[in-house]
Amino acid sequence: MATIHDVARAAGVSIATVSRVLNGNARVSGESSRRVRAAAATLDYWPNPAARSLRQSRTHVLGILLPDLYGEFFSEVIRGIDHEARQARFQVLLSSSHAETEAIAAAARSMRGRVDGLVLMAPDSESARSIDRITRRFPAVLLNTPANGTSAVSIANADGARQVVDHLLALGHRTVAVIKGPRGNADAEERVAGYRLALAAAGIASDPALEIAGDFTESSGFHAAPPLLAIQPRPTAVFATNDYMAIGLLSALGARAVRVPGDLAVAGFDDIAIARYVTPALTTVQVDAYELGARAVRLLVAAIGAEDGGPCRREVLPVNLVIRQSTTSSIDTQDPRTRPSHAGRREAQT
């Protein structure tokens, strides 16, 4: 890891000059400033403005870096993080990177010296280099992010997808389509992998023609309807790899007078709150986003308290299938899988 001494040596200037340039002091000549900035970029040097004051103390603040702050999934993750952090007497500093590689590094750089550790979600494969740069400088825990030597908490995506597809197959469906998530997104790829594994286990070959592009937004689910309905023979069931796309698809199918589940069974993933209130109520995979955030904070606080950061730990949260009317119109309303089993726990923690 580069230091200010390394930058000064590479730029051929004093440490004081490096400090002035990186602090925006206009008295440094243009040529010296250019050399300092070029050396800092080449060496991947991250200034630590609070390092001196923090050598013997902590900030008691956790940095939280998520790809987005919109929607129920992220709000539940944040709620779990905030509650667990307060229990451990930490505050949180929250930022969004919109999953852009340079934005992730820039946001983490701005937090250096201000936080004791970082909870980071960057599920896109292109973010790997930024993640490596960050985890060399912070105690960190990754959320739903491909991990390499770093503690991480993730969702049992493939298992959840297999549960959905097994349910559809058990209902007699043999032509099951899937609406995929963003390319390069770890969650999306694991869910599609689970879909293919379930088909293979049933002796059904996966068909690329049944795999419709999506990006986890409602609009991509809505726009998936025309290509889905154009497939011949038409699928009798579809698994949307998140609930937002499933809900967008339900809207498009309703506008086209396609009956759900009579003409096409629809299932999603995540069990966001609105999933149980749409018509028909959505069969989906229940993900405990609150616990995902809380678990990450527990791991991070433990790492901060350990002298050497402690052992690398990987935890995978189980998921549960919730069967509702979008896949079968005649279900037992007393079946616990049709009710949000985590509602009482959340109310108790509010």
Residue 288, pLDDT > 70, answer: yes
234 lies in the same domain as 312: no
Checking if the pLDDT of 349 tops 70, the result is no
Evaluate whether 258 touches 234 at the Cβ level (below 8 Å).
Answer: no
Task: Classify residue 70: in a domain, yes or no.
Answer: yes
Closest CA to 87 of 79, 75, 99: 79
Average predicted confidence (pLDDT) for the chain: 85
What is the pLDDT at residue 131? 78
Residue 52 lies in a domain: no
Could you give the dihedral angle defined by the CA atoms of residues 44, 47, 53 and 55, in that order, rounded to the nearest 10 degrees? 10
* pLDDT band at residue 19 under the 50/70/90 scheme: confident
> In a 10 Å sphere around its CB, with 0-12 CB exposed, 13-18 middle and 19+ buried, how is residue 328 labelled?
middle
Q: Check if the beta carbon of residue 211 is closer than 8 Å to that of residue 192.
A: yes
Q: Identify the pLDDT of residue 52.
A: 46
Q: How many residues in the chain?
A: 350
The predicted pLDDT at position 43 comes to 85
Q: Are 302 and 287 in contact (CB under 8 A)?
A: no
Residue 55 has pLDDT above 60, yes or no: no
Inform me whether the pLDDT recorded for 341 exceeds 60.
no
CB neighbours of 300 closer than 8 A, spacing ≥ 6?
Answer: 62, 117, 118, 119, 139, 140, 141, 151
pLDDT for 333 equals: 38
pLDDT at position 48, please?
Answer: 64
The more confident residue out of 29 and 227 is 227
pLDDT tens for 128-186 read 667 777 777 788 899 888 767 788 999 999 999 999 999 999 999 999 999 999 998 88
Q: What region, left, alpha or beta, does residue 312 occupy, with left being phi > 0 and alpha being psi -120 to 50 degrees? A: beta
Cβ(210)–Cβ(204) under 8 Å?
no
Number of H helices, E strands in the chain: 14, 12
Are 174 and 238 contained in the same domain? yes
336 pLDDT band (50/70/90 cuts)?
very low
Same domain, 332 and 198: yes
Contact yes or no for 248/179 (Cβ under 8 A): no
Of 17, 46, 19, 47, which is closest to residue 32 (Cα–Cα)?
A: 17
What is the four-CA torsion angle of 338, 342, 346, 349, rounded to 10 degrees? 150
- Asked whether residue 169 falls in the same domain as residue 258, the answer is yes
Residue 135 lies inside a defined structural domain of this protein: yes
Task: Report the percentage of the chain scoring pLDDT > 70.
Answer: 85
- Region 333-338: what's the mean pLDDT? 40
Most confident of the ranges 39-48, 83-92, 112-121: 83-92
Residue 337, pLDDT score: 39
Structure tokens at 282: 């959505």
Please tell me whether residues 161 and 151 are part of one structural domain. no
User: Within a domain: residue 48?
Assistant: no
Residues 204, 91 share a domain: no
Residues 311, 193 within the same domain: no
Give the global pTM: 0.76
Count of domains forming the chain: 3
Q: Are 87 and 181 in a shared domain?
A: no
Q: What is the pLDDT of residue 135?
A: 77
pLDDT of residue 50: 52
The answer to whether residue 294 sits within a structural domain is: yes
Give the residue numbers spanning the domain of 39. 4-43
Token pair belonging to 208: 């690329």
Please tell me whether residue 26 adopts helix, strand or coil conformation: coil
263 with 167, same domain: the answer is yes
Do 180 and 326 lie in one domain? The reply is yes
pLDDT on residue 340: 42
What's the pLDDT at 147? Answer: 66
Between residues 105 and 298, which one has the greater pLDDT? Answer: 298
Please name the residues in contact with 342: beta carbons below 8 A apart, sequence gap of 6 or more. Answer: 286, 288, 290
**Domain CATH number, residue 133:** 3.40.50.2300
On whether both 112 and 222 belong to a single domain, the answer is no
pLDDT digits (tens, 9 = 90+) for 189-219: 999 999 999 999 999 999 999 999 999 999 9
Residues 79 and 183 in one domain: no
